[in-house]
Structure 1
């Protein structure tokens, strides 16, 4: 039998890291969803011009 993975409530260091550094996993998920949406639009031929996010 395989042991269950610990739940987030049982990992105080994880909660501490999220408070200190932010939820990187959540941020990556949001960016991935936005990118997927933009690519769907691009493949459908309705995408707008790309926006630059970098500072010059």
Structure 2
């Protein structure tokens, strides 16, 4: 949610104060998971002879 969207929805600020910024937390967790998966798994199929 952009800051302009938040300005139009004042309830958002009170919910963030109460519950935390759940969408931002989920986004950060998903990004961290994708980075970890990228480091852990190698999807380069060229080395396996699958792709030429």
- The alignment's TM-score, normalised by the length of structure 2, stands at 0.66
**Whole-angstrom distance in 2 between the partners of 1:10 and 1:21:** 19
Q: How many residues align?
A: 39
Which residue of 2 is the match for residue 13 of structure 1? Answer: 11
Which residue of 2 is the match for residue 24 of structure 1? Answer: 22
Q: 4+ residue stretches of structure 1 with deviation over 6 A?
A: none
More helix by share: 2
